[in-house]
Chains A and B, each alone.
Chain A
Amino acid sequence: MTSNILITVLTNIDASKSLNDQQWGLLTNQARSAKLLGRLYYLLRQSENISFIPQSIAWHYLAAFKVAERQRRDAIREAFEISQALIQKGITPTFIKGSAYAINGLPITYGRLMSDIDVLVSKNEISTAESALFACGWLKTKMDNYDEKYYRQWMHEIPPLRQLARQTVLDLHHNILPLTNKHSFDANMLSKELVQHTAIKESYTLSEIDMVIHSTVHLFTESEFNNGLRDLSDLDMLIRHFSHENDNFINELVARANQLGLAKYIWLSLRYTQLVFKTPIADASIRQLNYNSKITIHTSSLDFCFLNIFKPDHKSCTDWKTNLAQLILYWRGHFIRMPLKLLIPHLLKKSWMQIKDRFEKDKEPLDHMN
């Protein structure tokens, strides 16, 4: 068994039957670092392997699952509140990412940690949506003027909103890619489906294909990959689930990526789900992508970066290559996000703000009890 025991077990859940205590300890730590402990619990439960977890640490798994379950229920509840607030103003919201998985009851939602609710509306509806949400207690989070201006001018979402009473955070989007990304496209082209949930009316989620498109674009335009492995596991589970329901899913996904000009991103996503999670994807389908995927220096360097990044963030799996991959991907993320003439002033400004913070925020209290 390799040191990356988390991937071994996620790709073959029955491998959990024959782990020794040392391997269980390592698996648990890797899964927790990767924010996949709740998902691992769910998969162990679905495959009836729960009883193989050593008794003294089994509670960690159950607890992680409980936290995720609470977040899943909260997401559905918030989606209800948000849709009520927006529908009154004639806006039909589209729920994306974690909230969409929760509303649609996809297998991926179980055990999955969520930090915020993501909603998509049209760009011209943003200010109406913002004031409708304000009336329901969603207030702007504290942000300095520079960041606020940056968000408003260049990003695909407005600064996060926080619910006054419940503290949940909402990201209000008008697109799925920053406007400065050269692949950014009109968000009206995304295809949507009416939500089939008893409580949440007149709301959309993205179609299954566009859900994978969005999840892909989101992951592969990042510059920081703290949840990289979790996000890739999301893609693996989405693709497996949708392919199970529709034999032709991958081919439709490929066609859609070509149509939206996102072939390169889908190529990355299919390549790395396949390489890391052994997601069943026919090579013939990948070849249909409008992307030249010959093995070149470019591909080898992408492989170096992503295969070193899509690992548990745990000392048993990380080394100098992880750090180098992080550094390269950090810059890659920034270069795809915006052209150099915007990027350089932005990074200079951010570095200066960080240096200032380091000295000024000395006394910030920790969040703990007495």
Chain B
Amino acid sequence: MDDDTISASNKPILLKIGEFTFRISSSLKFVIEDIHKLYGDFIEQTPIDTNENLIDFEIKVDRPNTIRRWFKPQVCLTLNEKMPFKPLPVDHAFAMLEWGMNWCIANHAHHYLMFHSAALEKNGKAVILPAPPGSGKSTLCAALAHNGWRLLSDEIAMISLEDGLIYPVARPISLKNQSIDIIKSFIPNAVMSKPAFDTHKGTVSLLKAPVDSVKRVYEPAAPAFVIFPKYKAKSQATLTKKSTGSAFIELADNSFNYHVLGKEGYEATANIMEQVDCYSFEYSDFDQAISLFNELAK
């Protein structure tokens, strides 16, 4: 047996994340270790009487039963018995699990309007941070989440179509390349997954969500701000008011399922726009960024 493989008797891990129930299994030891490391608080608060007959997403992360089990070893993700993705190098297994879980939510939870964006909350005021990859959204999200803001989500802001509130998932924050070391030095006690090198996004490592955010994962929050962040070297942290019209378009553009929802999606976005102030935000220094955000949440 390979030394990174553990015995098959290992029970699947049940994770209740907000309203979603995942059941995850893997015979890869390092995957199981990272799940316990990053999702330990979720595992702990998953009710003991969770109904295992009604699982939302059944995920397996394992080596394939082909030559690629040994030769340039790969890993496959199985969701409800299907493999929606091509295999990846085995070292990317935990990152693949994270991407797979994102995909599960983004492709199924159409009872929410979902944005590809981070969301955090302080004093009952939630901020939505939509941004394209490379804008430093996750890095800013990590800094805020460990400095007084409650993490709602790093990847998917889920807006209920019933009450317009943001429903948290509070899963780990996905950091890439230089951000990994930046966050390590900014948050000294940061708990992170083993980095996956050479993914199509470069090096990826996941940062554990603060325990308070996980404990409050059932508490929705009302959107108060939509802020489009952009990291710019040596810049002063600056918030610039943004017109509702252009923010609307950019936000809708950032949605996973605006198109699926059609009119419902338009109305939900319009409803958010009526409640929020919109800004674009440039920053290079975390302390400046955090104090500016704290001002907003007062």
Contact = CB atoms under 8 A, between A and B. Distances in A.
B200 A21 contact: no
Contacts of B106: 369
B176 A315 contact: no
B174 A60 contact: no
A319 to B, nearest CB: 14
A361 interface: yes
Interface in A339-370: 361-370
A206 to B, nearest CB: 29
A368 B95 CA distance: 11
Nearest to B19: A56
B54 A54 contact: yes
Given A33-B81, A59-B109, A62-B111, A366 B54 contact: no
Interface stretch (B187-195, B254-262, B271-279, B287-295): B254-262
B59 to A, nearest CB: 13
B110 interface: yes
B148 interface: no
Contact of B80 (A32, A362, A365): A32
Given A60-B108, A315-B81, A369-B116, A66 B88 contact: no
B56 A60 contact: yes
Q: How large is the interface on B (under 10, 10 to 19, 20 to 34, 35 or more residues)?
A: 35 or more
A122 to B, nearest CB: 34
B103 A63 contact: no
Nearest to A365: B200
A29 B79 CA distance: 11
Contact of B99 (A24, A32, A364, A369): A369
B62 interface: no
Contact of A63 (B58, B110, B155): B110
Contacts of B86: 361, 364, 366
Given A365-B200, A368-B102, A24 B54 contact: yes
A22 interface: yes
Contacts of A367: 85
Contacts of B201: 370
B176 A370 contact: yes
Given A70-B260, A73-B262, A368-B99, A56 B80 contact: no
A21 B81 contact: no
A21 to B, nearest CB: 4
B80 A62 contact: no
Contacts of A365: 200
A314 interface: yes
B56 to A, nearest CB: 7
Nearest to A366: B85
B7 interface: no
B53 interface: yes
B9 interface: no
B262 A369 contact: no
B260 to A, nearest CB: 5
Interface string B17-53: 0010100000000000000000000000000000101
Interface in B68-118: 72, 80-82, 85-86, 88, 99-100, 102-103, 106, 108-111, 116
Given A22-B53, A364-B86, A366-B85, A67 B110 contact: yes
A362 B116 CA distance: 27
A270 B92 CA distance: 49
A366 B204 CA distance: 15
Contact of B53 (A25, A33, A73): A25
B53 A24 contact: yes
15 contacts: A20-B53, A24-B53, A25-B54, A29-B80, A33-B82, A54-B54, A59-B111, A63-B108, A63-B110, A66-B110, A67-B260, A368-B85, A370-B138, A370-B155, A370-B176
